[in-house]
Structure 1
Amino acid sequence: MTSFFRGIEDLFVNVLFAPYDFFRFMESWWASNAINWILAIIGMVAFVYWMLELKKYNDNGEEDKSISSHSYL
């Protein structure tokens, strides 16, 4: 099991987080946090899209809103 967890460590440290090593040594705060800003913007766009889709289905009345789990809910 030790080699399994070391393999996971190697994957994350040497492969998936490798771009962050490049940004660690930059002097510009904006350039260092560009990936974080991009991910935050993508998350906000996805949230707005999801809320608009939920509103569309709610306005059409397609959702089954009947109580089916517990009577006290």
Structure 2
Amino acid sequence: MKDFFYGIQDLFVNGLFLPFDKLRALELESWFAANSVSWIFMLIGFVAFIYWMMQLAKFNANNEEDKSVTAHSYL
């Protein structure tokens, strides 16, 4: 069973996290290049936020939401 967990460790340390080690080596040369994965995730989050806001504006413009006091039981 010990070899199973060492195999998982080897997969992650020597395989899946290897690109992150290469990015960490770039930190001395360029901060933006070293944090490129974070920038990509921030861009994806920003695009998702804009899409969400556009969908909310669309539903609000169509007056599809029930805004009465009794619309939700917890109000």
Q: Same fold (TM over 0.5)?
A: yes
Match of 2:53 among 51, 54, 62: 51
Normalised to the residue count of structure 1, the TM-score between the two structures is: 0.65
Q: Deviations over 1:5-61 (max 9, x none)?
A: xx5x7776552x442111011122121011111211111111011001001001101
Structure number with greater Rg is: 2
Give the % identical residues.
Answer: 52
- Give the Cα separation in 2 of the matches to 1:43 and 1:59: 24
**Consecutive unaligned residues in structure 1, runs of 5 or more:** none
Q: By percentage of residues, which structure has more helix?
A: 2
Residue in 2 aligned with 1:25? 25
Question: What value does the CA root-mean-square deviation take over the aligned residues?
Answer: 2.7
- Give the Cα separation in 2 of the matches to 1:69 and 1:44: 33
